[in-house]
Amino acid sequence: MKKNKNKVREGNPAITVLLYILAGLTAFIALYPMYYVLILSLSEPQYAASMKVYVWPKGFNLAAYQLLLKDTKIWRAYANTFLYVVCNTVLVVTTCTLVAYGLSNKNLLGRKYLTMFLLIPMYFSGGMIPRFLLILKMGLYDSTLSQIIPAAFSIWDIILIRSFFRTIPDSLVDAARIDGAGVIQVLTNVFLPLGKPIFAVVAVYTIVGTWNSWFSAMIYLPHTEWQPLQLFLRRVLVTSSQTLSQVMDPEAAREAALRALSNAQLQYAMIIFTSLPVLATYPFFQRYFVKGMVLGSLKE
């Protein structure tokens, strides 16, 4: 039987092996730093301080995690962060969806000018000082609302959701209108059910961004009562770097050295402890995440 020279050959074993090697190498580069911090947090304090742990934990010590579980301050910071994450995610998805829905309507009067009006502040910002003065004049300084209200609106997410909405066929909208659906009914019965993938993408971006945010809280929340988890983590990592040269008494130096060893392990344990919730978020959104990223990038 004559072979077709133009036939595309698939399943080349050498290429398959090469792709698996590249994928494994990429996964190793991405995952090993977190795994390295994990085994350091589980090792004995002296090994964690020297950082001479590479594959398996040396010894097994959970004292750092036990100390974290007993610390009421870190639980308060956890609660603050969860508050900001939930409020910001709900507000961002809601506000961006409503604005994107309006901008996706071809019959909207002045749609191009409204889009341009949104694009300008996305590329040109007023800076930190005008933002601080605005927060101060609005009475949001030293308030939890300083972490919620300014973050309740995202121009980038609006453009992302609008691009997704424009991929929805007009025939579905026309069919809904023929059945007597109004503007709100079209949004709730057509756009919202079909927009789950892009909403998942926006939610993941917002959750991760809010969870890792600390700079805004450092500026607008001078008291530690309402500060988020990442600012608490930063404060611990920065203030726990005491040098032994400041200690003159030998016994005090010995206690400081032991404390430094414990602090090193505590820092690694705190990194794992503060990263687990946001890492656990991805499996719940994985079903829609890839689909939303692909569809949201399409243009009409």
CATH assignment of the domain containing 231: 1.10.3720.10
The answer to whether position 9 is within a domain reads no
The answer to whether position 21 is within a domain reads no
The answer to whether position 18 is within a domain reads no
The answer to whether position 24 is within a domain reads no
Q: What is the pTM of this model?
A: 0.76
The answer to whether position 43 is within a domain reads no
Which pLDDT score, from 0 to 100, does residue 299 have? 45
User: Which structural domain range is residue 147 located in?
Assistant: 63-295
* Full pLDDT tens readout for the chain, 300 residues: 555 555 545 567 788 888 889 999 998 998 888 888 888 888 877 777 777 788 888 878 777 787 777 778 888 888 899 999 999 999 999 999 999 988 888 777 888 888 888 888 878 877 888 888 988 888 889 888 988 998 888 888 898 888 888 888 888 888 888 888 788 888 888 898 888 888 888 888 898 888 888 888 888 988 878 888 888 877 776 655 444 334 334 444 444 444 555 666 777 888 887 788 877 777 776 666 665 555 544 444
The answer to whether position 120 is within a domain reads yes
The answer to whether position 123 is within a domain reads yes
Domain count for the chain: 1
d(CA 120, CA 140): 25
The answer to whether position 41 is within a domain reads no
Which pLDDT score, from 0 to 100, does residue 142 have? 87
